[in-house]
Structure formats: structure tokens, C-alpha cells
Structure 1
Amino acid sequence: MTLKGLHDTIQGAFLWFDCHLWEFDINDRRYGLPHDDDFGFEKVYNATTTRLTKLRDSGITEFLYTYDMGDNWEHHVEVLKLFEMPKGARLPVFIDGKGRTPPEDVGGAPGFEMFLKAMADPSHEEHDNLLQWYGKPFDQDNIETAVVKALMNRLANMRRSKK
């Protein structure tokens, strides 16, 4: 899998829509989507061609993934265990999760904290606005396992068709 594939997997796990900038910061190198102009910033390495096996073979076991530079969702990614993929297995696959992820465009960690308070309290001044914005009550315990599994299956099928 490439870093772009990992990005897609994280997007699916979080039920996000991949509509913001993102990057991986690995050993002081930035990886993201290639672009024609670097706008005067440091070089961005191509996440569509950088494979996770390259990181593994280099001994890299942790790195940073940032999504939505405005909301600034920073994810510390740590490799806990390596395993041989069973023959015929399709990846990615959703194994388990805990807690509902923040909605897209909620305003980063401070916005999500306010969102949780407002959604839990019908008397909160922002409750009705946020309920309308989100479209339904927010259940922190419902991670929508079936939806996440379906997204992972879709990604696995896309990876298989590219081979």
C-alpha cells in the first residue's frame, strides 16, 4: 500500500470526505500529492508512489499524518505489529474501533469539543444549528461499523483492480 492508500484508509475509517489538504511528516520529509509549483515551500514527496514497505524496511515505526490544515487534525501513526498478509486477503480491512470520529469541518479539536457539548444539551444555544448542520443526533458510541466496513471493502476492491 502507498501512503496515498493509507490516507484513503484513514479517510474511510473517520467517515471523512477527502476534501482538504493532507500530508504525512516522516523523518523530516513531507509526503502528499504532487503538484507543479512548490509555492516556495519545502519539497513534497509523492505519496502516490511511496510504499509502506519502504518505511518498514527503513525501520520507521511512527510518523505524523495531518488532515485539513485549517482544522489541523494531527494523527500520530504508530506501527504496533507487522504480520504476513494471508494469501488471498484483501486490505484494508476494518477490525475494530471505539468512539465516533469528529465530523468533517467541525472546527478542529476545539470545535469538536463545543460540538459535543452542544449536541448533548438541547438547551445549548448552538444545539439546533449544529443538529441541522450535522443532520441527525450525534451518538458518540455509534461508529457506524457497517459503513466503515463497506468503505474498507470498496478500497480493497479498488486496490485489487489496480493490480
Structure 2
Amino acid sequence: FGIPDGGFDDPIDARKATLLSAIEDIGARSFKYLYDFGDGWTHTVKIEKTFPATAGFDDPFLLEVVGRCPPEDVGGPWGYEEFREAIADTNHERHHELVEWWGDAHYDPGDVDADNLRKNVEALAAKWKRRSRKKT
């Protein structure tokens, strides 16, 4: 699934699919999601359970948060690993460079601001809702 561009090996048009229809069509219980083509951030998403639609739960919402996202443009999984090592080790050859880039000598991958993330998801849901209204 993706956005077709007229190429030979185009993906199925994601603009016309829902997550439920996609997993029902192919019978998958998990799939890979490529977040950033340049840096290679690939996520495995596992469908644990689906539920019937419930009134009042039409919008996306944050169910659970585990771990902090890596900094944007850190250089993919390999760059993130080096970033974490360099930030934590004052003797690492890139420590000062990456502290300057990040802006802080402290980075805890377990430090999560769930309330802020929840607000961001709610704002995104509101934006999607405004955009998807049908004009009459």
C-alpha cells in the first residue's frame, strides 16, 4: 500500500483503503510500515485485536505509550544507536558535536511525555476531521 506514481511496480492505492480493509483483504495480522525512506525507519505493526465500531470512538486516540521517539533526522537506526552512545559517553568522539546538535547532554529513551503526545494525536484527529467533511 502506498501512493501510486504511475510506475511499473506501483503499490495498492493507500488513499482508497482503510487499515481494516487492508488486513481483511490480505489476511495479515502484522505489517511493516516504512516511515522514512532515506533513513530506513521500518516499524512492524502487529494487529492484536479488532473491535466493532463503537459510537464516540470514531477518531484516533492514543492508547498506550512505551518509549520515546528518536530525534528527527538522527540518521536512521544506526545513527540513533551512535547518538545514544555519544550522548551518554563524554569521551565519545562525537559527544560534543551531538550534544550541540541535540541541545542537551541528557537523552533518556524511556522519558515520555504521554500527555503531550495525547494532545498531538487529538489535534491531528481534529485536523483530519475538518479536512474530511463532505461539501454539499
Q: TM-score, normalized by length of structure 2?
A: 0.82
Q: 1:48 to 1:122 in 2, by over 3 A?
A: same
Letter in 2 for 1:104: E
Deviations along 1:105-155, one digit per CA (max 9) or x if unpaired, are: 212221111111111112322112111212233121212212211111012
Give the corresponding residue for 1:14.
none
- What are the residue-to-residue correspondences of 1:86-97 with 2, within 5 Å? 86-97=54-65
Deviations along 1:6-32, one digit per CA (max 9) or x if unpaired, are: xxxxxxxxxxxxxxxxxxxxxxxxx22
In the alignment, which of 119, 126, 135 is matched to residue 150 of structure 1?
119
Give the corresponding residue for 2:75.
107
Give the corresponding residue for 1:21.
none
Structure 1: 5+ residue runs without aligned partners?
Answer: 1-30
Letter in 2 for 1:45: I
After TM superposition, give the deviation of residue 80 of structure 1 in Å: 0.4
Name the larger-Rg structure.
2
Tell me, in whole angstroms, the C-alpha distance in 1 between the residues paired with 2:13 and 2:37: 18
Deviations along 1:14-69, one digit per CA (max 9) or x if unpaired, are: xxxxxxxxxxxxxxxxx22343x42xx51133222211121243233221111222
Aligned length: 130
Tell me, in whole angstroms, the C-alpha distance in 2 between the residues paired with 1:67 and 1:119: 24
Tell me, in whole angstroms, the C-alpha distance in 2 between the residues paired with 1:65 and 1:101: 15
Q: Does 1:46 align with 2:13?
A: yes
Q: TM-score, normalized by length of structure 1?
A: 0.70
Tell me, in whole angstroms, the C-alpha distance in 1 between the residues paired with 2:30 and 2:84: 30
Q: 1 or 2 for the larger relative contact order (CA 8 Å, sep ≥6)? A: 1
Question: Does the CA-based 8 Å contact 1:62-1:79 persist in structure 2?
Answer: yes
Letter in 1 for 2:127: M
Tell me, in whole angstroms, the C-alpha distance in 2 between the residues paired with 1:146 and 1:155: 14
Give the corresponding residue for 2:128.
159
DSSP-derived class of the 2:64 partner: coil
% identical aligned pairs: 33
Tell me, in whole angstroms, the C-alpha distance in 2 between the residues paired with 1:107 and 1:66: 15
- What are the residue-to-residue correspondences of 1:28-67 with 2, within 5 Å? 31-35=1-5, 37-38=6-7, 41-58=8-25, 59-67=27-35
Question: Does the CA-based 8 Å contact 1:90-1:156 persist in structure 2?
Answer: no
